[in-house]
């Protein structure tokens, strides 16, 4: 196994073996199980930008944060737009994005070297990437859907860690979290053209189908991006969990035709 399903009261969340043995962090990835949301959002929806009740989402975020053992009042949340902007989270940012109003917009990645501040990013099929610099003690998260992957947000996150915290990419462990796998991710020619303009060859992570469409492997594309950023091959880990194949555990934007809840990736230095 590459992951464990943890139970805390009603809540179920995932921890990853590759991160679990790092002593100075706490992390998790939420499932759809154990929250208070109703209907299509049943039940642990963390997405405020869905049609769900804000009060229910707020309660779910509090419950999830507590289940992982982290402090909700310090939580810093992204403001995702499928871009490639990474925010450096400072002491003054504690609580922003949910508990307190956010004063930043269009942020698809978060990094910090400050203990006690949980970082949260939101997903339903897009690729969550967790980052831990095991030498300098820096953590980060980025949100890589096809657009973010094409923009190489993973590499930009590493570059920000190098630039602001003096990280050496060889000390960074990256974990590709639950997201839509190639088995379930069909795209059209437009997406392929976009990737070709950014990656050059796309043959190692796409498979053409007979109908002119393609199956796209965002996991391999992100691994290429992280290798390009200087990470060691053995430090790029994968949860091997497809959100579309496991709709018992996860929301899937594709599988549920866009009307569904969201999971959260959370990480904190302790």
Binding of residue 215 to Zn ion (CB under 5 A): no
CB of 180 to Zn ion, least distance (A): 7
Considering only the stretches 88-96, 163-171, 207-215, 234-242, report the one whose residues sit in contact with Zn ion under the rule CB under 5 A.
234-242
Instruction: Work out which of 181, 223, 237, 255 binds Zn ion, going by CB under 5 A.
Output: 181
Q: What's the sign of the alpha-carbon dihedral 142, 148, 154, 155?
A: negative
Q: Is 147 helix (H, G, I), strand (E, B) or coil?
A: helix
- In whole angstroms, how close is the CB of 234 to Zn ion at the nearest point? 25
**Is 218 one of the binding residues for Zn ion (CB under 5 A)?**
no
244 belongs to the binding site for Zn ion (CB under 5 A): yes
Stretch that binds Zn ion, among 37-45, 53-61, 177-185, 208-216 (CB under 5 A): 177-185
Residue 182, interface with Zn ion (CB under 5 A)?
no
Whats the size of the chain, residue-wise?
A: 270
Nearer to Zn ion, 2 or 7 (CB): 2
**Sequence-separated (6 or more) residues with CB below 8 Å from residue 101:** none
Q: Is 225 in the site for Zn ion (CB under 5 A)?
A: no
User: Binding Zn ion by CB under 5 A: which of 183, 201, 209, 270?
Assistant: 183
Structure tokens at 84: 């490639």
- Closest approach of Cβ 215 to Zn ion, in Å? 10
């Amino acid at each position: 196994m590459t992951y464990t399903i943890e139970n805390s009261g009603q809540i179920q969340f995932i921890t990853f073996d590759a991160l679990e043995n790092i002593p100075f962090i706490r992390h998790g990835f939420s499932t759809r199980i154990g929250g208070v949301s109703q209907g299509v959002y049943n039940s642990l929806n963390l997405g405020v930008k869905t049609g769900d009740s804000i009060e229910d989402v707020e309660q779910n975020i509090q419950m999830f944060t507590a289940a992982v053992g982290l402090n909700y009042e310090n939580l810093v949340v992204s403001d995702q737009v499928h871009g490639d902007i990474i925010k450096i989270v400072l002491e003054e940012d504690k609580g922003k994005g949910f508990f307190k109003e956010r004063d930043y917009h269009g942020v698809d990645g978060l990094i910090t070297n400050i203990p006690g501040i949980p970082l949260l990013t939101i997903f339903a099929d897009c690729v969550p990437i967790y980052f831990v610099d095991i030498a300098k003690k820096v953590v980060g998260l980025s949100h890589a859907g096809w657009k973010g992957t094409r923009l190489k947000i993973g590499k930009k996150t590493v570059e920000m860690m190098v630039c602001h915290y003096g990280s050496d990419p060889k000390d960074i462990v990256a974990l590709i979290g639950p997201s839509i796998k190639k088995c379930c991710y069909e795209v059209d020619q437009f997406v392929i053209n976009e990737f070709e303009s950014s990656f050059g060859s796309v043959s190692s992570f796409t498979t053409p189908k007979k109908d002119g469409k393609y199956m796209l492997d965002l996991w391999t594309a992100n691994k290429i991006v992280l290798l390009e950023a200087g990470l060691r091959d053995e430090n790029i880990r994968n949860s091997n969990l497809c959100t579309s194949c496991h709709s018992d555990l996860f929301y899937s934007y594709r599988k549920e035709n866009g009307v569904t809840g969201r999971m959260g990736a959370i990480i904190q230095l302790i």
